[in-house]
Amino acid sequence: MTITIDERKRALREQLLATRRAMTEAERISAHRALKAQIRWLVEREQPKVVAAYLPIGTEPVAHHDEQSLPELLLSAAAKTGGLAVLLPIWKPDNELGWAYYRGPESLRLTSRGLLEPRQPALPPDEIVAADLMLVPALAVDTVGNRLGRGAGCYDRALGYARAPIAALLYEHELLAEVPVADHDIAVASVITPSGWRPLRS
């Protein structure tokens, strides 16, 4: 019996999510701190003016757990180079992502889907063209940049608008030799793991 790409993706997602849940708190904290150092290094190196990012939750890399959030990390990393603006996604019922500029922790709300999002009205999906660096979530990426997300497809749609280099945030073991890929999937240009930033052959 032939296994479809969707079935392969589903099985790999379950495996990767189980591995994330099995990480100890000490492992997770260590990885988060190393990842944040790598993100800070990349921002200081590239000096972007607008970064499209997101708000990690749960077991996702750099979910802050009372430490510095990803948007605050980006702002502090750019403080010496003139600062930057951070765009954050707003999920829409049609599985598109709108965007809003980060205005501080008090500007966020917890949605019914368990996500943190800006309270402001969403700017249109193509606002992402303003970004000159994009940081995206992923469950895995392979060595040519194919990205495995959670299956909703909203980030593939968003990446279709992007003009900036795209980097996925991963734990070390989530950079794989191969990820199942469908025609609509959009590759990323690089990954950031606890050991460093790595450009890919996308």
Pick the closest to residue 34 from 2, 89, 73 (CA basis). 73
User: According to the model, what pLDDT value does residue 31 have?
Assistant: 95
The label of the residue with tokens 């988060």 reads 32
Residue 131 and residue 87: Cα distance in Å, rounded? 8
Give the HSE-up count for residue 192: Cα atoms under 13 Å, Cβ half-sphere.
25
User: What structural domains does the chain harbor?
Assistant: 5-199 (3.40.50.10420)
In the prediction, which pLDDT does 172 show?
Answer: 96
CA distance 128 to 26: 35
CA distance 50 to 60: 23
Q: What is the pLDDT of residue 190?
A: 96
Amino acid 185: pLDDT? 85
User: Minimal CA–CA distance to 126: which of 152, 87, 153?
Assistant: 87
The end-to-end CA distance of the chain, in Å, is: 31
Pinpoint the alpha helices (H) of the chain: 5-22, 25-46, 70-77, 154-161
Extended beta strands in the chain, E state? 50-52, 85-91, 97-101, 108-110, 116-118, 133-137, 140-142, 147-148, 166-169, 175-176, 190-193, 196-199
**What residue ranges of the chain have pLDDT lower than 70?**
1, 64-66, 151, 201-202
CA distances (Å), origin 54, targets 14, 62, 155: 22, 10, 11
Can you give the pLDDT at residue 65? 65
User: How many other CB atoms sit within 10 Å of the CB of residue 196?
Assistant: 13
Which ranges of 78-181 would DSSP assign to H, the alpha helix? 154-161
The tokens for 12 are 């790999």
